[in-house]
Structure 1
Amino acid sequence: MSKSLYPKIKPIKQEFLPVSEHHEIYVEQSGNPDGIAVLYLHGGPGGGSSENHRRYFDPERYHIILIDQRGCGRSNPSPNLSENTTWDLVQDIEKVREHLSIQQWLVAGGSWGTTLALAYGISHPDRVLAFILRGIFLGTEQEFQWLYSHQGAARFFPEYYRDFISVLPIEDRLDPLQGYYKMLTCENEVAVIAASKAWALWELRLSSTEHHHVGMSQVSDTHQAICMAKISSHYFVNQCYFSPEYLLEEISKIKHLPAIIIHGRYDMVCQLDLADKLMNRWQNAHLQIMPSAGHSGFEKQTIDAFCKATDSMAKFLSEVSKNK
């Protein structure tokens, strides 16, 4: 039987945690404070957390922690690119763990959240119980080319890609990633908003196999679009602040940890072959390919797979805890 999201719940605590002289991040807790601690990492970079992310987890079994990553969502200041790198975010995650006095936790995430989860795990393997990862993104040049060049996803969605590059000056259309970054960091507020919404629309159109005829009316939250576009382009022009193939090369540091990897067969944002490549280097990882799903974390097959994964992981971790 297919599973749906768990019922809506309210946080039991919401706070802002100072993580640097210039940044404080939004942290919320829900579910069972005595349950299995789980951190869910949102996508983007810059996407922000959603109340529906809580609903992947059984609130009776899990102590659910969500954050808005530095510079986006409800974190302050937002949007903001200063002191904002992968390694700043990794340090922020560890500060949240220490602040909440959590010894170890399950780390889960989707899309860019998988990138950050892997980077955190590689840096702090002794603090991770296991992983649940949906839509693998490794921050490689292959992925940047797929998303933003004329030779990747554009070949499947040529009409959407024309819309995507149409906001750029003609001279910037051969390198849209650099062109967008230049526009998104300029002083022209009107241009920044237009570029942000076009960026968000391109990704939204690539993300779901269930929702068609997606238009600009679906990009209604200007703040969210600006956070997503500015911060994503900032990370991607800087190759996510790590060397090419870094996550694959360092996977040996976490290969002893169990992981459930969920990936849609028709994911047009994150490429399935990289999830397969990761699984083949990770002896305790299991890859589940959803036969009709795309990239979105809230398609029916994805919800079913993710919620079943959290249920099975809760049972597994409880057994491990009993046997210690």
Structure 2
Amino acid sequence: MFKTLHLLSLYTLCIAFLVGLSLSAFAKSPGFEPEKEVLVPVEGGKVYVRVDGEKQTHRAPVIFIHGGPGGTHNGFIGMTDLADERMVIMYDQLDSGKSEQPNNPKNWRVARFVESLETIRKHLGVEQWHLVGQSWGAALALEYSAKYPQHTMSTVLGGTFISTPHWIMDANLLVKAAPQEVQETLRQCESSQPPQAAQCYAAYTKLYSPYYTPNKISNEIAAYQDSVGGNGFNPLIYNAMWGPSEFSSTGVLKHYDATHLLAELDPLKTLFMIGQYDSARIDTVQNYVALTPGAELAVVPGGAHGFYDDRPLVTLALLRSWLRRKDAQ
């Protein structure tokens, strides 16, 4: 425990300067209107793609891959500040957000999601890019980087989900450590008659840590998320591929495990990134790092699984530093 806390303190000190560099630009951001939006045909339908900083060609582009399955790009919107030095690509996976929603179970295959990324790369004319995956998006980033190393500048495995058995094991540990009333609420939340969403959210939050306090997101980010349009999160694909909650898997991904693909990555181009109070437990992620000798680990102080919203300035600073370093290699 002491070693982990000491490591987190070191990260806090090391990123303080980087946060200061990013703070003024982020605070003065005029808004999050996209520079370019396109619908890209992929297997099964068309996916929404947002591009910012298209004229920034002196650094490799970065694509952000959201979680879910069934999530949207919305949570990444604060990272558009990176467009001051490189192309920033965000997209909604098929069946969610502003993408088409055929809701055809035949499309709910990991390989198809991976090939959608490759189709987006080709459509945009990008030769190499950085991949930043979050949660379920980390699994897609890992799968893509293992299959297409020639197009991968670096890989960020954020909120690291790459193995359902490992994730559920960690979830069980979190649940068992929670107060009895929280455990009971969680059981009710996964029943056929769950309580109100706010009550379930509060229970899930308590699982992270008694010390975790979510940040209120900025007015600009909230305004974007309210006005972005599309169909938002799709619970149908989430339930079919994952299950009733973050802590229970009953769907297509129930036995998913891509841990073996870590051996296919270039470890010097791999970053594991989690929140201090992430449901991706640091002990498990450190095991992933050990399987990828030379890879790096970043811990976002005070952040939980949604650290892009929880701690956007720290996250932006960490990513900016990482991407610049990997550009130069």
Give the structure-1-normalised TM-score. Answer: 0.74
Q: Is the 8 A contact 1:262 1:306 kept in 2?
A: no
Separation of aligned partners in 2, 1:93 and 1:291? 30
Task: Give the alignment partner of residue 107 of structure 1, picking from 123, 131, 135.
Answer: 131
Letter in structure 1 aligned against 2:318: A
1:155 aligns with 2:158: no
Task: Give the alignment partner of residue 214 of structure 2, picking from 191, 211, 216.
Answer: 211
1:260 aligns with 2:271: yes
Q: Deviations over 1:63-104 (max 9, x none)?
A: 011011121111111665441121110010011001111111
Task: Give the alignment partner of residue 25 of structure 1, picking from 47, 56, 68.
Answer: 47
Separation of aligned partners in 1, 2:213 and 2:96? 27
Q: Is the 8 A contact 1:48 1:69 kept in 2?
A: yes
Separation of aligned partners in 2, 1:167 and 1:307? 33
Q: Is the 8 A contact 1:42 1:109 kept in 2?
A: yes
Task: Give the alignment partner of residue 237 of structure 1, picking from 250, 275, 278.
Answer: 250
Separation of aligned partners in 2, 1:89 and 1:228? 13
* Structure 2 SS opposite 1:58: helix
Task: Give the alignment partner of residue 98 of structure 1, picking from 97, 122, 128.
Answer: 122
Query: How many positions carry a matched residue from both structures?
Result: 284
Q: CA deviation at 1:263?
A: 1.8
Task: Give the alignment partner of residue 279 of structure 1, picking from 289, 307, 318.
Answer: 289
Task: Give the alignment partner of residue 149 of structure 2, picking from 119, 125, 135.
Answer: 125
Q: Deviations over 1:285-304 (max 9, x none)?
A: 1112345432222366x434
Counterpart in 1 of 2:223? none
Pick the structure with more helix per residue: 2
Task: Give the alignment partner of residue 15 of structure 1, picking from 9, 23, 38.
Answer: 38
Name the stretch that deviates more: 116-125 or 136-145: 136-145
Change (3 A) 1:72 1:82: farther
Q: Is the 8 A contact 2:78 2:312 kept in 1?
A: no
Separation of aligned partners in 2, 1:222 and 1:198? 21
Counterpart in 1 of 2:64? 40
Letter in structure 2 aligned against 1:210: T
Separation of aligned partners in 2, 1:159 and 1:125? 47
Give the structure-2-normalised TM-score. Answer: 0.73
Change (3 A) 1:155 1:51: closer
Counterpart in 2 of 1:224? 233
Q: CA deviation at 1:223?
A: 5.2
Structure 2 regions of 5+ residues with no counterpart? 1-16, 216-225
Change (3 A) 1:30 1:241: farther
Name the stretch that deviates more: 121-130 or 220-229: 220-229
Task: Give the alignment partner of residue 88 of structure 1, picking from 112, 120, 125.
Answer: 112
* Structure 1 SS opposite 2:73: coil
Identity of aligned pairs, percent? Answer: 19
Separation of aligned partners in 2, 1:222 and 1:15? 17
1:296 aligns with 2:306: yes
Structure 1 regions of 5+ residues with no counterpart? 170-182, 184-190, 213-219
Q: CA deviation at 1:308?
A: 2.0
Q: CA deviation at 1:312?
A: 1.7
RMSD of the TM alignment (CA)?
3.5
Separation of aligned partners in 2, 1:238 and 1:266? 26
Change (3 A) 1:251 1:142: closer
Separation of aligned partners in 1, 2:174 and 2:319? 33
Q: Is the 8 A contact 2:214 2:303 kept in 1?
A: no
Separation of aligned partners in 2, 1:165 and 1:110? 26
Q: CA deviation at 1:145?
A: 4.3
Q: Deviations over 1:259-311 (max 9, x none)?
A: 232222322x21212211111122331112345432222366x4344222232
Letter in structure 1 aligned against 2:65: L
Name the stretch that deviates more: 40-49 or 130-139: 130-139
Counterpart in 2 of 1:215? none
Q: Deviations over 1:1-52 (max 9, x none)?
A: 43448323321211212212x4221111012433321100112221111164
Separation of aligned partners in 2, 1:73 and 1:287? 30
Q: Is the 8 A contact 1:56 1:306 kept in 2?
A: no
